[in-house]
Structure formats: structure tokens, C-alpha cells
Amino acid sequence: MDAKTGRAPVIIGTGSAWPQRAVSNLDLQNIVDTSDEWITRRTGIRQRFIARADQNEETSDLAASASLAALEMAGKTPADLDMIILGTVTGDKPFPACACLVQEKIKAKKAAAFDISAGCSGFIYSLSMAENLIKAGQCDTVLVIGVDRISVMLDWKDRANCVLFGDGAGAVVVTAGDGPEKILSTHIRSDGACWDMLYGEYGAPYVHPSLEPIQPKPFHVVMEGNRVFKKAVSSMASLSHEALKANNLTGEDIALLIPHQANMRIITALAERVNVDMDRVYTNIDRFGNTSSGSIPIALDEAHRKGIIQKGDHVLLVTFGAGPTWGASVVSWGI
């Protein structure tokens, strides 16, 4: 709660959406020099969802579907929205913002809309913005979306990286409240000196015919996995401790840790450093792979709909992405 305004940002609805086409590790064995055993052992991923360009599965389509589900849960309509903040690096077009396309698709006529580009940290960066807009009294109801179609920027000859990612969207509705259940704090960081560990390089990626129609972007993902692994674990662990300390909490107080779903080895290393047992860590990486900005809100929606999170529970959200960027948010669950 803001000391001056008395307004507390509360998550009151969650939603998620993903493409129809599931691509398993066994499917990838037929098009990439890899194996199901290698992918599963090194990453924990067994399948991912890959959007089709001919099935109304653009980034804005997935985002709109997730948003409507979140609004329905929240008991709100698009007309109630003051702001739409969307984290992505794979908008439908170079401009306008993908958030503006979502605004039109859900008919949120009075909402301002803009995108945030922070790699896989896009959702947490967007949540931080929404939190502060509500605390400041500038907005009453904000739609926060994390969505990416990383498949459009994958080189399907890059065996180390193309197997890691999938497509999907998640959304939350945040509104002003005055109770103890709220977003307690959100913390964000970046370190541009290390940008070259994960970035987009100009040049259209190769797409295997069996995965068409994808309609790739004119650039592709370049990533040094070992560097990303080390930086991600240390950065997320450090910021998690900072976020917990800011709220007089420890890992033992966390009912559920929802980390960015990038690699199962990163997740287990993070949980150990934050002192959260794996039975209090939510993962869906085996089914979705790394959906970038969609990762945390998809997992959050699943955990809530399954009844894993109860009202008043302390939930820790933590992420790492290109930039590199990273962020952590501590939420006292309010639904």
C-alpha cells in the first residue's frame, strides 16, 4: 500500500493461452540433430507449443485470449481498463505496439496501451509498472500481459537453442485495493555490459518445412547457454533475497515460488539458493518449454486455477531475460 494514497495493487484475475500445435521432443528428433533423452536430461522440456500463422495465433491473438480469461475471472470488462501493459519481443509488427492491437481485439476503448521490451523479464517489468501506476493513483485497473512467439525467431538448424522455446501468453488484472493481500513489492535490474550472451541477430532464420507456416522474423536468437545459466542463477537468487528482505520474509515463508521456466537445472539451483523446497516450486517447463514473457503468467494462472495458491499465501515470482534483465516480485495472494 502506498503510504500517501493508501492504494494497494491487487491481482484479481489470471488468464493464459497457447497455440493448438504441440511439438514433442520426438517430433524434433526428425528435423534437428538431437534426441528426446538429450533435451529432457539437459532442460526438463518434453514438448512445446508452436503457433501457426494461418490459425489466428499471432502474438496479439494469444495475448487477447489470455486477457479475456483474466478479465472474466476478475469480474471486469474491457471497458473497465485504464491501461494495458504488454511485455514481448515478438510483436505482430515493428509498430504499432502489440498492446494497441490487443486493445482493439478486446475492445478496451478507454485504455492506454504500450509494450515493454525486456526479453523474458517482460512480464515482471510490466507488473512493476502497473504496481506503481496504481499506487500513484494514475490508474484503477491495469491489464498486464506477458506474451511471446519465440518460434518466429528461432533458427531450426541451431540444435542447442531451437529446442528450448515455445509460444504462449499469460495475463493478470491488477486493481486498487486497501487490504493486506496485494503485490508487496517488485524489484527489477539490468546489466547491459553482458548483452552479448543473449540477443537477436539480423538474418532470417531457417524453418523446417514440417513446422510451417511460421512466417519468421528477419532476425534470429543467438544465445551462449553456459553464460546465461551462471548469470541467471546468481542474479535471480540475489534479487529474490533482496525482495524477501524488503518484506521481512525468508524462503520458508514462501508458499509457492514461480520462476521463469527456462531450464529445470536453473530452477532447481535457484530454489536451493533461496531455500525453497522443490515441492513449493511450480513448474510447467516440461509441457511448455521457455515461453519467454509468457512463462510466469502462464504458470501463475495454472497454479491458481489448480488451487495450489490460496488467499493470503506469499508467492515469489522471479525471472531473467535478454539485456540481461531480471526481476522479482513478492505477492500476498488476493484471490
Give the residue numbers marked as catalytic: 120, 260, 290
Name the E strands within the chain.
8-17, 22-24, 47-49, 83-87, 112-116, 141-149, 167-177, 183-190, 198-202, 219-223, 256-259, 314-321, 325-332
Measured CA angle at 86 (ends 57, 269), to 5 deg? 90
- Is residue 158 classed exposed, middle or buried when 0-12, 13-18 and 19+ CB atoms within 10 A define those classes? middle
Measured CA angle at 211 (ends 208, 214), to 5 deg? 100
- In whole angstroms, what is the distance from residue 273 CA to residue 254 CA? 13
- In whole angstroms, what is the distance from residue 335 CA to residue 12 CA? 6
